[in-house]
Structure 1
Amino acid sequence: MTVIYDLEHITTYRYANPVTFGEHRAIFLPSGGYVGRILSYSLETNIPSKVRWIMDTLSNNVAFIEFSEPAKELIFTCRVRGEHFGIPAIADFPLDARAKEVPVQYTPDEWLDLSTFMRPHAEDPDGSVAAWAKSFVIGDQDVTLDVLERMMDKIWNTLTYQARETEGTQSPGETLRLKSGTCRDYAWLMIEALRRLGFACRFVSGYLYDSALDGGEVGMTGSGATHAWLQVYLPGAGWRAYDPTNRITAGYDLIRVAIARHPAQVIPLTGSWFGDAKDYLGMDVKVSIRKLGTLPEFEQI
């Protein structure tokens, strides 16, 4: 089944007086591949701007926006219509024998390609992240898929989701200490823990489609907003999705926008402005995802 969807992502910055703007960098546009296809897209601003698109080092779609006029309000509106093919269950991709137990054995070519995603990025001064990671492979509990499921379940069962307006991502150690965090914090903790067990992992930024939204309800944590999860490379299965915020590993809910070694590489929107610091009044983000139908149904609309 293929899901056809419309996505709208609106970010609004407000100021007390007109300010000028430096270049902004936006990562809004979903990536294609076997999980989906973009049918149409647009990126608009409320004041005159010049937009140029590039593909970065990890093949993410990145827009750079330049402005020539001051304003009291800056609005970015990204609209996308796409096809989402969904993420098959891992049972459909048998693991190679060398991937069935921890540590996973990567070939020399795989290790060379994946080394940047295997090396821990965050510091662990007290060893708490390493100790937490090792707790999942104590004794003979080293079956790869079981380790991944137990770690994801542990985050989901023992941490409290806590949305916050401040930018950035907590360190994995801080998330363990606070026992709470956002989807970005959950994903980053699991990535850094798995890297300490020898897994190649990457951070994923995107959107969470929740069918409950079609009925005016919210069923999953983080739906109707930007979302974050991770992918783990498993020989035989390739890059596999793990969303510890909602315990998702397959299905149609995760719409990938960008991948990264660490969260700071894929902040959805960054930029600068020039004026009195007291002029900044705040920002609002609104994300809506609407399912138009499955492909056979959509062809009849």
Structure 2
Amino acid sequence: MTVIYDLEHITTYRYRNPVTFGEHRAIFLPSANYGGRILSYSLSTNVSSKVRWMMDTLSNNVAVIEFSEPSQELIVTYRLRGEHFGIRGIAEFPLDPRAKEVPMQYTPDEWLDLAMFMRPHAEDPDGSLAAWTKSFVEGDQDDTLDVLKRMMDSIWNTMTYQARDTQGTQSPSETLRLRSGTCRDYAWLMVEALRRLGLACRFVSGYLYDEALDGGDIGLMGSGATHAWLQIYLPGAGWRSYDPTNRITEGFDLIRVAIARHPGQVIPLAGSWFGETEDYLGMEVKVSIHKLGTLPEFEAGK
């Protein structure tokens, strides 16, 4: 099914006195892939600015914003209209025989291409991450899809989703200690655990479409905001999405914007400002995603 949707993402920073702004980088525009297509997009600011576009080392679209005047308020607004090609329910996909069990066997070419996504990035000072990871493998050979399912189920059943406004991502060991976190904390925990089992994983930033939002309800955790999950490279199936926050594998609801080795590479909006520390009053983020209809319905209504 192809869904046409409108997305609006507004970030507002407020200050006690006028401050000046350094360069900001915005990552909100999905890269071209088989999962969707961008029909139109825009980026605007309330402060006079210049915008140039670049593609980073992982082929993510990045808007570089340069501001030319000070202000007590900075508002950055992204809007886009897109097509999303989704699949209802749990996605089924074939695996090569060498991918059906952990430890998995990658070819030499795959090793070269995937090495940066296989190398653990986070520290594990108390060994808690290693111990948690080990609990999902029982012998010399373990069914790959079963390991992935049990890890997602464990996060779902033993941890509490806790939204927070502050930027940044908890370390995996902190998430295990607190037994709570946001979507990005859960995704990062699972990425680093699976890398320790020899699987190639990458962190994914994007949006979560939830039909319930169009009716005024919230059905999925993390919907109505930026969202994070992970992708795992499984020979035979390729890069497959896993969302431990909602126990989604691929499916209909995930709109991918950017991929990364670690969460710090794909912050939706990041930059600097110059003023007194006490001038900063806070940040507010509003994200809305609305379905305009399926493709035949949308074209008929034009």
TM-score w.r.t. length of structure 2 = 0.97
What's the counterpart of residue 119 of structure 1?
119
1:209 matched to 2:209: yes
Identity of aligned residues (%): 82
Q: Is the 8 A contact 1:35 1:87 kept in 2?
A: no
Could you list the runs of 5+ residues in structure 2 that have no partner in the other structure?
none
Q: Work out the number of aligned pairs and report it.
A: 300
Name 1:297's counterpart in structure 2.
297
Match of 1:61 in 2: 61
Q: Cα deviation per residue 1:169-207 (whole Å; 9 max; x = unaligned)?
A: 111011111111111110000000000001000000001
Whether the 8 Å CA contact 1:90–1:237 is kept in 2: the answer is no
Q: Using the TM superposition, give the Cα deviation of residue 126 of structure 1 relative to its aligned residue in structure 2, in angstroms.
A: 1.9
2:189 matched to 1:185? no
**Corresponding residue of 1:13:** 13
- Report the 3-state secondary structure (helix = DSSP H, G, I; strand = E; otherwise coil) of the residue aligned with 2:248: coil
Unaligned runs of 5+ in 1: none
For residues 182-261 of structure 1, what are the structure 2 equivalents within 5 Å? 182-261=182-261
Matches within 5 A, 1:107-146: 107-139=107-139, 142-146=142-146
* Cα distance in 1 for residues equivalent to 2:276 and 2:133: 46
Aligned counterpart, 1:286: 286
1:140 positional shift: 6.8
CA distance in 1, matches of 2:293, 2:206: 20
Counterpart CA distance in 1 for 2:136 and 2:120 is 18
8 Å contact from structure 2 (residues 187, 230) kept in 1:
yes
Does the CA-based 8 Å contact 1:202-1:232 persist in structure 2? yes
After superposition, the C-alpha distances for 1:201-231 in whole angstroms (9 at most, x for unaligned) are: 0000001110000001111111000000000
Render the CA deviation track for 1:111-158: whole Å, top value 9, x for unaligned.
Answer: 100010001000112221111111111137710001001000100110
CA distance in 1, matches of 2:115, 2:283: 38
Return the structure number with greater strand share: 2
Cα separation, 2, equivalents of 1:48 and 1:87: 41
Matches of 2:228 and 2:42, distance apart in 1 = 23
Deviation at 1:270, TM superposition (A): 0.6
- Asked whether the 8 Å contact 2:3–2:85 carries over to 1, the reply is yes
Q: Is the 8 A contact 2:159 2:180 kept in 1?
A: yes
Q: Is the 8 A contact 1:141 1:147 kept in 2?
A: no
| Cα separation, 2, equivalents of 1:177 and 1:36 | 38
CA RMSD of aligned residues (A): 1.2
